[in-house]
Amino acid sequence: MVNVDRRDIVIDTLKAYPKTDNRTLARLLHDQYPHEFGTVESARSSVRYYRGVQGSKKSVKASLRHKTAQPKRTPRTITIPKGIRHAPPARRFRDRGKWLLIGDLHCPFHDESAIEAAIRHSVDNGVEHLCLNGDVYDFYKLSRWTKNPKERDPEHELDVGGQVLDEFASHFGGRKVFKAGNHEERYETYLYAQAPALVGIADFELHKVLKLRDRGYDFVKSRQFYSLGRLSVFHGHELPRGLTDPVNVARGVWNRVRESAIVNHWHRTSTHVDTSGLKTRTDACYSIGCMCDMQPNYAPVNAWNLGYAEVEIGEKGTWNVQLKIVDRGQVYSVC
């Protein structure tokens, strides 16, 4: 039987090096405590004894339990009411292949020639899936800004936007995603302020009004997060305000999300690449251009550009982004 001093030494050593093999521990004990363990073999026997290798019921686990035994406690009951969660669950679209990611059409203020160029180029490149990433509709008359009474009413916008949705759907036979942007959010905001009695009625929900399911589109809500494979996708209005870099929108996005992501919303094409602090991972952020009137009355001078992205999703959710710009009806790759 090992004496008490040797027992404590062995137990403390096993606690310090739980995954080290017996022979290595025996050498360590012999080197550090030559008086207690005169030979490596005697130290090894002690280690085996307390690990239970020799079949003894007195293993190190029993000894450790004996040394660290805690008094029994009366079970404590804690009851906290469930908190409210506003954010809907995030969605991930895993469909492999090429996606056309496009947004900021602002129908009926869209640029039809730029949209046509994007569709033709994407179809020619074998794109199967479609992601309309927000602000497909403008909902001009529902905004909180001062409005020109001569502009068309929401019914006209719905009609024009519906024609655009149907045209897109006719060219892409794969998955089709419709993400609500801040302009689609105007519809819900209008209901809250002007027609609260209609809030919650199924027929007046945005996806019903736009007939998205009938048109073959999956609907992603305005503030709902989603991704294509492992690439996070935002319209842009979900992110904190004041984040944009005056030179590079994508860099501003990186400063907020700190992961690979793609946005539109700011109507400017840009890219930014960064690494983690330990240089173990490289991420990239992208922003794409718009597909709307480039000189609206509210911003006749701006730094916008027409553009979109083609995103290829691989087997394990990997992604490859190609940013495109449209200039005078021609499509150009920028990265």
Which tokens go with 81? Answer: 């009411």
For residues 150 and 11, membership in a common domain is answered with no
Considering the domain boundaries, does residue 79 fall inside one? no
pLDDT tens digits, 234-272: 999 999 877 555 679 999 999 999 999 999 999 999 999
For residues 63 and 119, membership in a common domain is answered with no
Is residue 12 helix, strand or coil?
helix
For residues 182 and 286, membership in a common domain is answered with yes
User: Domain residues for 202?
Assistant: 91-333
Considering the domain boundaries, does residue 76 fall inside one? no
pLDDT tens digits, 115-163: 999 999 999 999 999 999 999 999 998 887 767 776 768 899 999 999 9
Q: What are the counts of helices (DSSP H) followed by strands (DSSP E) for the chain? A: 9, 13
Average pLDDT over residues 282-293: 97
For residues 247 and 138, membership in a common domain is answered with yes
Considering the domain boundaries, does residue 74 fall inside one? no
Considering the domain boundaries, does residue 84 fall inside one? no
As a whole number of angstroms, the distance between CA 278 and CA 286 comes to: 22
For residues 258 and 325, membership in a common domain is answered with yes
CATH of the domain at 166: 3.60.21.10
For residues 100 and 58, membership in a common domain is answered with no
For residues 130 and 263, membership in a common domain is answered with yes
pLDDT tens digits, 170-222: 999 999 999 999 999 999 999 999 999 999 999 999 999 999 999 999 999 99
Residue 19, C-beta contacts closer than 8 angstroms, at least 6 positions apart: none
The strand order across the sheet containing 176-179 reads 218-220, 176-179, 129-133, 97-102, 307-313, 319-327, 330-333
Considering the domain boundaries, does residue 268 fall inside one? yes
Considering the domain boundaries, does residue 75 fall inside one? no
Torsion sign, CA atoms 137, 112, 102, 313:
positive
For residues 176 and 291, membership in a common domain is answered with yes
Considering the domain boundaries, does residue 77 fall inside one? no
For residues 59 and 107, membership in a common domain is answered with no
Domain count, the chain: 2
Considering the domain boundaries, does residue 127 fall inside one? yes
For residues 113 and 217, membership in a common domain is answered with yes
The answer to which of 51-60, 222-231, 299-308 has the lowest mean pLDDT is 51-60
As a whole number of angstroms, the distance between CA 287 and CA 323 comes to: 8
**Global pTM value:** 0.75
> Is 275 in contact with 262 (CB distance < 8 Å)?
no
For residues 322 and 200, membership in a common domain is answered with yes
For residues 218 and 255, membership in a common domain is answered with yes
- Report the candidate in 332, 333, 268, 328 with the shortest Cα–Cα distance to residue 111: 328
